[in-house]
Amino acid sequence: MPSTIWVEISLASQGLSGAEALEVRNALEEQIEDAGIGEVVGGGCATDGSGCDFELTADDLDAAEQELRQFLSHVDLLESSVISRN
């Protein structure tokens, strides 16, 4: 059974630098944890600013994934995201 949710977000259309993409990832992770969706346990960011990713763990992965999808939709990043379970 999967134990984490992996999220990859394409930021290529945003025209961000690597540092700006890192700021976006950090803000997303903070908001996700503050909302109680789950705990971010890893992640990374493309140095060219084209994307970021992070790994999330939660007690109830089904509920966390549903909440995560709603959150990403709210911040207009769901269509740019690939969500999978590890």
Q: Give the Cα separation of 36 and 65 in Å (integer).
A: 12
CB atoms within 10 A of CB 2: 10
Q: Residue 40 sits in which domain range?
A: 5-85
The reported pLDDT for the residue numbered 10 is 97
Q: Find the CATH number of the domain harbouring 70.
A: 3.30.70
The reported pLDDT for the residue numbered 68 is 97
Pull the structure tokens for residue 12: 């290529």
Summarize pLDDT for 37-62 with one digit per residue, the tens: 999 999 999 999 999 999 999 999 99
pLDDT(1) > 60 = no
Provide the number of structural domains found in the chain: 1
The dihedral built from the CA positions of residue 33, 81, 55 and 65, taken in this order, carries a sign that is: positive
Q: Kind of pairing, strands 5-10 and 51-57?
A: antiparallel
pLDDT(2) > 90 = no
Q: How far is CA 86 from CA 3, 6, 13, 49, in A?
A: 6, 7, 27, 25
